[in-house]
Structure 1
Amino acid sequence: MRKLLFLLLALVAVLPAWACPACQKQQPAILKGITHGTGPQSAWDMPIIIASALIVLVTLVYAVKFLFWPKEAGEQHIKRSILDNTF
């Protein structure tokens, strides 16, 4: 019960973070209701954000890929010292 109460309190605390009506008018259609403040100031703002988001996404995909499937088969690879049970 205590966890449920904490979860509900956390969800209610997030509600003021949504954009107010004055800020919604300043935002482009894609950001309406999500963020406070002014919208993009130039034509380069959104392409820069999209490019950086793509870089982060590609980095995340490769990090997960190499974490689970490293494809290192050499017997002298450093991971063999961890996986080998002999000391």
Structure 2
Amino acid sequence: MKKAITFLFLILFEITAFACPVCKRNQPKVLRGIVHGPGPESNWDYVSIVITIIITVFALIYSVKWLLKPNENNQDHIKYSIFK
């Protein structure tokens, strides 16, 4: 667990190092120092990002949930042929 937390911390720390000084200056305050290149051109860019984040988090939560507890109890299921 310590390795996973350290790895996530290092990844998040590395993300902030991507923007160059010119991009830091030109980005909006919310994204300053995080992204490289041109910033959002309109508020619709933020809307699309938020929708994408919501879908991704939803998919991640259900993927982990069904991976850990699939609730498949049928004895004829293919997974039981692997367990035998």
TM-score by length of 2: 0.71
1:24 equivalent in structure 2 = 24
2:58 equivalent in structure 1 = 58
2:75 equivalent in structure 1 = 75
User: In terms of Rg, which structure is larger?
Assistant: 1
Q: Identity percentage over the alignment?
A: 44
Question: Displacement of 1:44 after TM fit?
Answer: 0.3
Gapped runs of 5+ residues in structure 1? 1-13
Gapped runs of 5+ residues in structure 2? 1-13
Number of aligned residue pairs: 70
Q: Deviations over 1:23-65 (max 9, x none)?
A: 1122111210111212100110011011111111111111111
Instruction: Let me know the Cα RMSD of the aligned residues.
Output: 1.9
TM-score by length of 1: 0.68
Moved >4 Å (runs of 4+): none
